[in-house]
Amino acid sequence: MPYAVDFVNVSTVGLESSPVADALAGLRANEARYFKNKYDHVFTVTPVDEAPEVLDYVNRILAEERDITIGSRPLEVSAFEVEGIRMAYVFYESGLSVNVMYDLDETKKRAVGFKLSEGMEVPEELAERFKFARQKSKLAGVIRGSFFVIKGAY
């Protein structure tokens, strides 16, 4: 069942099995606040087993672009379009969030972003490939993030 993420009253609903559930819930709420403020979009997540096509889409891009397979168990996904940008998110049990930003205008930005919840280690599959910058968030504490540009068409 889809869940509209509340960034005022942050909840760990759907993320309870994560060892960093509170921080991951803050990270998810941080994304919800961003999309509400920038696009007036309500950020909604779905258990991964109810929308496996979103996970497949993100996994395909990771595999084809950088030969990356995320080892952690996926918990939730989100997929939507705002102002000509297709977005897809996967939230993992480890505290990792992966998002795909795919502008439908071929001349615009297309990228994969990684965000690490406070308290989690950099996943082994990303540690040697990416440098992570730190960002403070009232909802999520310290978020570490990185990204890469998508070169292919998806």
Please give the average pLDDT of every successive group of 10 residues along the chain, which has 154 residues.
Answer: 89 94 94 94 96 97 96 97 95 97 85 93 92 82 89 88
What integer pLDDT is reported at residue 149 of this predicted model? 94
pLDDT of residue 19: 94
Tokens of 8: 């005022």
**pLDDT score for 102:** 93
* CA-based torsion, 110, 67, 29, 42: positive or negative: positive
Task: Give the sheet arrangement for strand 74-82, strand by strand.
Answer: 3-4, 44-47, 74-82, 85-92, 96-103, 110-116, 141-149, 133-137
In this prediction, residue 18 carries a pLDDT of 95
